[in-house]
């Protein structure tokens, strides 16, 4: 029967990457991703709930288009702050502690939104909820990646993140019935209460061995890995010999300036622009879709919600295809394909006249299908291009640019729509998608199948 290896010396305990690479996938990996999935699902549900409660609130509170954009966008400002703050804190507190705090913030903020009675109060609670949501997503991506092996890492990570894509159409589907029949408040209650279930489950997970080792806590990293090795052995899976010549994990203190040193300067700036190009479009479309169909095309509230659900459902199809494409063709080709093809239908609105609501739904859905390639793959990609001591921080800062773009998208719609019309809105989205495509094509690197420590060395030198 196979047994776990014994690591007695400090040198042995530094073989974190090698031990993770040789570790067979077991029930622990499955359960870990289920736990992470549960939080990711409710992240998506809560982040887009505002889109499906706005149609009735517009008439009830007499909200103007600029106010709509501001109410949608303020959540993303909170997410921007949370992404940077908790990206920094996760390098000091650890991945797990930081994730639990962010989960509490966005869950309790969502519950508070259900009981507000005015636009201004809703605005502030959306901001607070955003802080927790923005902090959690990059941390979960870093955590899952740090347990994955080089081969198939993209698919391993995306199999957890796909619940975010599922959460969007589920929110839309539930909103079709709940908002007209139960009231808009129940959307926030439904999204917040189940997320509390994930908190005790979070406490069952170990801290990332890679992070522990980067903080010099090699004994704890060794204990966490032995726990995983024991699970694999109990399930009858042999532990193969350690891979040779893999870098050891060394203690390194994180500094914000390290994001701009050596090879990381180009990577940091590049990934910021890709995030901006992708999420200006993604959240601009999903957050405004029901309101656009209601305001511009004068569809009833429930019909507008159904159209929003169709758009989210098509986006889910693109997200599921991402799980295959990220390993089949690689990260960079997938991003170029997604952003490039996304841009074309949106830019076509520059040459189109007034369209029916159904025609707009079909054209925009085609764009959203391809843009969804980015929604999942970018979090995985960002976690891969930084070393362990910068992974959560780099992911948090990059995610902050995503949140800024996600804020700008809805706000820009609110400003452009009254002056220039809905076609101009879609053309602007197309230009941002095209920008992201060109940046990816000329500056992004490929990360498929490479061990994290080789791909992203701590010293910032070219691997």
Tell me, yes or no, whether 402 lies in a domain: yes
Cα distance between residue 105 and residue 255, in whole Å: 26
Q: Residue 116's domain spans which residues? A: 16-238+253-455
**What confidence tens digit (pLDDT) does each residue in 204-218 have?**
888 989 888 888 888
**What confidence tens digit (pLDDT) does each residue in 170-188 have?**
877 788 888 888 988 888 8
**What confidence tens digit (pLDDT) does each residue in 262-303 have?**
899 999 999 999 988 888 887 777 766 767 777 776 677 777
For residues 138 and 382, the answer to whether their CB atoms sit within 8 Å is yes
R_g over Cα of the chain: 22
Number of domains in the chain: 1
Tell me, yes or no, whether 121 lies in a domain: yes
Tell me, yes or no, whether 130 lies in a domain: yes
Cα distance between residue 163 and residue 337, in whole Å: 22
pLDDT at 203: 74
pLDDT at 353: 65
**What confidence tens digit (pLDDT) does each residue in 65-109 have?**
778 878 877 887 888 888 888 888 888 888 888 888 888 888 888
| Mean pLDDT of the residues in the chain | 81
What are the residues whose beta carbons fall under 8 Å from the beta carbon of 91, sequence distance 6 or more? 211, 254, 389, 390, 392, 393
Secondary structure element (H or E) that encloses residue 7, with its range: none
Give the Cβ contact number of residue 169 at 10 Å: 22
Cα distance between residue 163 and residue 6, in whole Å: 37
Distance of CA 45 to the CA centre of its chain: 13
Cα distance between residue 461 and residue 456, in whole Å: 9
For residues 337 and 282, the answer to whether their CB atoms sit within 8 Å is no
For residues 357 and 304, the answer to whether their CB atoms sit within 8 Å is no
Tell me, yes or no, whether 247 lies in a domain: no
Residue 441 confidence (pLDDT) above 90: yes
Cα distance between residue 324 and residue 122, in whole Å: 39
Distance of CA 137 to the CA centre of its chain: 5
CATH number of the domain where residue 383 is located: 1.20.1250.20
**What confidence tens digit (pLDDT) does each residue in 329-377 have?**
999 999 999 899 989 888 888 877 677 767 777 777 778 788 776 766 8
Of the chain, the end-to-end C-alpha distance in Å amounts to 38
What are the residues whose beta carbons fall under 8 Å from the beta carbon of 80, sequence distance 6 or more? 130, 134, 400, 403, 404, 407
Place of tokens 């997604």: 338
Tell me, yes or no, whether 463 lies in a domain: no
Distance of CA 402 to the CA centre of its chain: 9
Of 123, 188, 74, nearest in space to 82 by CA: 74
Tell me, yes or no, whether 333 lies in a domain: yes
Tell me, yes or no, whether 1 lies in a domain: no
Give the Cβ contact number of residue 431 at 10 Å: 15
Secondary structure element (H or E) that encloses residue 88, with its range: helix 65-93
Q: Of 95-109, 207-221, 223-237, 402-416, which range is least confident?
A: 402-416
What are the residues whose beta carbons fall under 8 Å from the beta carbon of 399, sequence distance 6 or more? 79, 83, 87, 134, 137, 138, 275, 379, 382
pLDDT at 10: 41
Tell me, yes or no, whether 406 lies in a domain: yes
pLDDT at 416: 80
Residue 11 confidence (pLDDT) above 50: no
Query: What pTM does this model have?
Result: 0.76
- DSSP, residue by residue, 336-384: HHHHHHHHHHHHGGGS-----HHHHHHHHHHHHHHHHHHHHHHHHHHHH
pLDDT at 195: 67
Cα distance between residue 384 and residue 237, in whole Å: 27
For residues 276 and 436, the answer to whether their CB atoms sit within 8 Å is yes
pLDDT at 197: 66
SS3 content of the chain, % helix, strand, coil (to 5): 80, 0, 20
The per-type count for the chain, helices as H runs and strands as E runs, is 18, 0
């Amino acid at each position: 029967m196979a047994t776990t290896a014994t690591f007695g010396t400090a040198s042995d305990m530094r073989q974190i990457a090698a031990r993770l690479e040789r570790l067979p996938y077991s029930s622990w990996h499955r359960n870990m991703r289920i736990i992470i999935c549960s939080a990711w699902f409710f992240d998506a549900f809560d982040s887009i709930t505002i889109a499906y409660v706005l149609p009735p609130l517009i008439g009830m509170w007499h909200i103007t288009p600029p106010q709509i954009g501001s109410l949608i966008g303020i959540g993303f400002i909170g997410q921007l702050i949370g992404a940077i703050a908790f990206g920094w804190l996760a390098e000091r507190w650890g991945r797990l502690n930081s994730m639990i705090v962010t989960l509490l913030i966005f869950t309790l903020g969502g519950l508070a939104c259900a009981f507000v009675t005015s636009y201004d109060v809703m605005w502030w609670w959306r901001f607070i909820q955003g802080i927790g949501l923005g902090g959690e997503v990059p941390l979960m991506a870093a955590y899952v990646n740090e347990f994955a092996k080089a081969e198939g890492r993209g698919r391993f990570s995306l199999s957890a993140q796909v619940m975010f894509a599922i959460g969007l159409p589920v929110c839309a589907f539930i909103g079709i019935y709940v908002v007209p029949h139960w009231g808009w408040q129940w959307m926030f209650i439904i999204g917040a209460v189940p997320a509390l279930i994930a908190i005790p489950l979070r406490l069952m997970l170990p801290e990332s061995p890679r992070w522990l080792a980067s903080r010099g806590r090699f004994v704890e990293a060794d204990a966490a890995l032995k726990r995983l090795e024991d699970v694999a052995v109990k399930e009858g899976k042999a532990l193969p010999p350690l891979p040779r010549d893999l870098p050891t994990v060394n203690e390194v203190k994180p500094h914000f300036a390290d994001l701009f040193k050596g090879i990381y300067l180009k990577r940091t700036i590049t990934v910021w622009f890709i995030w901006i190009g992708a999420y200006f479009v993604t959240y601009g479309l999903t957050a405004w879709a029901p309101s656009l169909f209601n305001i511009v095309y004068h569809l009833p509230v429930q019909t507008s919600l159904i159209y929003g659900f169709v758009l989210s459902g098509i986006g889910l199809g693109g997200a599921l295809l991402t799980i295959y494409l990220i390993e089949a063709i690689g990260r960079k080709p997938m991003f170029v394909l997604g952003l490039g093809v996304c841009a074309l239908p949106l830019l076509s609105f520059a040459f189109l006249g007034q369209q029916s609501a159904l025609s707009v739904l079909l054209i925009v859905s085609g764009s959203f299908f391809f843009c969804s390639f980015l929604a999942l793959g970018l979090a995985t990609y960002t976690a891969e291009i930084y070393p362990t001591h910068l992974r959560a921080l780099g992911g948090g800062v990059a995610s902050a640019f995503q949140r800024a773009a996600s804020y700008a998208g809805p706000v820009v719609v609110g400003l452009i729509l009254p002056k220039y019309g809905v076609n101009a809105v879609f053309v602007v989205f197309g230009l941002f998608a095209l920008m992201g495509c060109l940046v990816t094509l000329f500056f992004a690197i490929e990360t498929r199948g490479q061990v994290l420590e080789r791909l992203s060395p701590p010293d910032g030198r070219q691997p």
